[in-house]
Amino acid sequence: MSTKISRRRFLTTTAATVAAPYIIPASALGKDGTVAPSERIVVGCIGIHGRGFHDLRWIIGNKDVQVVAICDLWKQQREAVKAFVDDYYGTKDCAMYRDLREFLPDRPDIDAVLIATGDHWHAQASVRAMREGKDVYTEKPSCMTIAEGQAVVETARRYGRVYQTGTQRLSEANHVFAIEMARTGRLGKVSRAYAHIAPWDSATMQHTWKPEEPLPPVDEVDWDIWLGSCPWRPYNSSYVSGGWRDDYDFHTSCIGEWGAHTFAQAQAGIDAGDTSPVHYGYVNNDSGDGMVCTFASGQEMILSRNDVYWHGSCGERFDGERGWVGSADGYAMPDASSPDILAEYKTVIGEYVERTGRSLDHMRNFLDCVKSREETVANPTVMHRSMSTVHAANICMWLKRDMEYDPVKEEFINDDEANRLRSRAQRAPWVI
């Protein structure tokens, strides 16, 4: 049969093809309230448990987000997250992984990861994810040591990644108001800030092991991965389900539990987000309550365990020449020494949003920055400097003496014992 085609037949066929309608789904064009695939942020999750489900609901509720995978060493949680995500989208597409060493390189399609593991995994997972080209939103506290914080900062810089730590009060209007009133000089010179620390547990923490239990199959719970870089210890199921708090290997003490939030809040108000205190005054108790941390500027940050300066949790307060202002969870409005201070509420919030362009939604700020490549409100430097304050305050309590710290060199002055505590040995192969 001849393969030749006449000119007339070619033109007729071509015209019919061009004239035929080509139907493109509205979802592919971003119509009908949907977001075009090219504008979606593809998200994977690592270690989603109790608090993590709050974060998952938060991020998945954004129309420009597509959650596609869960990595968790605990089978029960892998399956629970997959069920939630599949039910949300009405599909069966959410992929499951046990080991993030396989998960991260296997998914080049993922733009960002949501990390809500136990505290001792936050920096480890963040660094590994950023090395694989992922942007990171991680729960607090975001590092276990000063050295881990340095690793997060350096990795984000080297790989050009967007990073947000989950100190969400930096994006909440009441806290923003208190911070901005102090930072912009509306209170006059601010001499003192107060930061809330958790009213339970101690600064010293436990150094004991829980009773050994039979080790489950690795697919049920991968105990080696759960321990990560921490020293080996026998398996106990309560660790995996959240019973690791107040344990030195896995926690940052009562100081870090809330200080991971409130130190960042207090330091933002005195414009010290890129530094740490130079002096830590030891207090003879088991919590650090009342410790005075002094910055090079002479401004003080006082740690407070109880509801002396606020009611509710995770509070901060600033004392200035013209009065004081503070906030904590559950406030309808911030507290202040005068109604005149609160009269500026809308003005201060409006000026902050206009100046920074930031959303007053912490997760949205992260997602906006994933697209714009701008720095988040809780960027690596803000995280590292506030967490360095946490770690230095802990070291002060552990060694039971005043500490002098150089925030430029990031080392304690003339104190080898304290400097050794800026890092911890990491168990192979979990070394970053």
Residue range 147-156: average pLDDT? 98
At 174 the pLDDT is: 98
Are both 86 and 194 inside the same structural domain?
A: no
Q: Does residue 410 belong to any structural domain of this protein?
A: yes
Residue range 137-160: average pLDDT? 98
Residue 202 pLDDT more than 60? Answer: yes
Q: Which of 119, 135, 101 is nearest to 51 (CA)?
A: 119
What's the rounded Cα separation, in Å, for the pair 257 and 287? 12
Are both 131 and 155 inside the same structural domain?
A: yes
What's the rounded Cα separation, in Å, for the pair 267 and 77? 36
Write out the DSSP string of 227-288. HTTSPP----HHHHTTTTTTBTTT--HHHHHHHHHHHHHHHHHTT-TT---SEE---SSSS-
Q: 168, 190, 218 — which closes off a domain?
A: 168
Residue 345: strand, helix, or coil: helix
Cα dihedral: 293, 298, 301, 302 (round 10): 70
Are both 197 and 56 inside the same structural domain?
A: no
Residue 23 pLDDT more than 60? Answer: no
Position 38 confidence tier, pLDDT thresholds 50, 70, 90: confident
Q: Does residue 51 belong to any structural domain of this protein?
A: yes
At 33 the pLDDT is: 64
Q: Write the CATH number for 107.
A: 3.40.50.720
Ranking 24-28, 259-263, 348-352 by mean pLDDT, the lowest is 24-28
| Radius of gyration, alpha carbons of the chain | 25
Residue 69 pLDDT more than 60? Answer: yes
Antiparallel, parallel or unpaired: β 323-327 and 335-336 = antiparallel
Q: Does residue 234 belong to any structural domain of this protein?
A: no
Q: Hey, what are 133's tokens?
A: 């080209």
Cα-based distances in Å from 406 to 262, 278, 282, 413 = 22, 6, 17, 7
Please name the residues in contact with 207: beta carbons below 8 A apart, sequence gap of 6 or more.
247, 248
Q: Hey, what are 380's tokens?
A: 């690596």
Q: What are residue 65's DSSP bridge partners?
A: 41
Are both 73 and 189 inside the same structural domain?
A: no
Q: Does residue 131 belong to any structural domain of this protein?
A: yes
Q: 143, 168, 193 — which closes off a domain?
A: 168
At 10 the pLDDT is: 43
Q: Write the CATH number for 386.
A: 3.30.360
Are both 268 and 309 inside the same structural domain?
A: yes
pLDDT, mean over the chain: 94
Q: Does residue 6 belong to any structural domain of this protein?
A: no
Q: Which of 362, 354, 329 is nearest to 184 (CA)?
A: 354
What range does the domain containing 316 cover?
A: 173-204+251-360+380-417
Q: Does residue 227 belong to any structural domain of this protein?
A: no
At 121 the pLDDT is: 98
Are both 177 and 158 inside the same structural domain?
A: no
Q: What are residue 335's DSSP bridge partners?
A: 326
Are both 154 and 62 inside the same structural domain?
A: yes
Are both 179 and 280 inside the same structural domain?
A: yes
Please name the residues in contact with 23: beta carbons below 8 A apart, sequence gap of 6 or more.
none
Q: 168, 192, 227 — which closes off a domain?
A: 168
Q: Does residue 3 belong to any structural domain of this protein?
A: no
- CA–CA–CA angle 39, 41, 42 (5° rounding): 130
Residue 415: strand, helix, or coil: coil
Write out the DSSP string of 389-402. HHHHHHHHHHHTS-
Q: What are residue 221's DSSP bridge partners?
A: 74
Are both 179 and 162 inside the same structural domain?
A: no
DSSP assignment, residue 421? T
At 24 the pLDDT is: 46
Backbone φ and ψ of 127, nearest 5°? -65, -45
Contact 255, 305 (CB under 8 A): no
Question: Tens of pLDDT along 274-330?
Answer: 999 999 999 999 999 999 999 999 999 999 999 999 999 999 999 999 999 999 999
At 15 the pLDDT is: 46
At 18 the pLDDT is: 43
Residue range 3-14: average pLDDT? 46
Q: Hey, what are 126's tokens?
A: 């963040």
Kindly report whether the peptide bond that precedes residue 141 is cis, defined as omega within 30 degrees of 0.
Answer: yes
Residue 191 pLDDT more than 80? Answer: yes
How many of the other CB atoms lie within 10 Å of CB of 158?
10
As a residue count, the chain comes to 432
Are both 186 and 164 inside the same structural domain?
A: no
Residue 17 pLDDT more than 90? Answer: no
Q: Does residue 139 belong to any structural domain of this protein?
A: yes
At 34 the pLDDT is: 74
What's the rounded Cα separation, in Å, for the pair 142 and 93? 30
Question: Tens of pLDDT along 239-281?
Answer: 999 999 999 999 999 999 999 999 999 999 999 999 999 999 9
At 29 the pLDDT is: 52
Contact 348, 181 (CB under 8 A): yes
Residue range 56-71: average pLDDT? 98
Give this prediction's pTM: 0.92
Are both 179 and 158 inside the same structural domain?
A: no
Position 429 confidence tier, pLDDT thresholds 50, 70, 90: very high
Q: Hey, what are 112's tokens?
A: 């960002």
Number of domains in the chain: 2
Contact 412, 404 (CB under 8 A): yes
Residue 25 pLDDT more than 70? Answer: no
Are both 265 and 356 inside the same structural domain?
A: yes
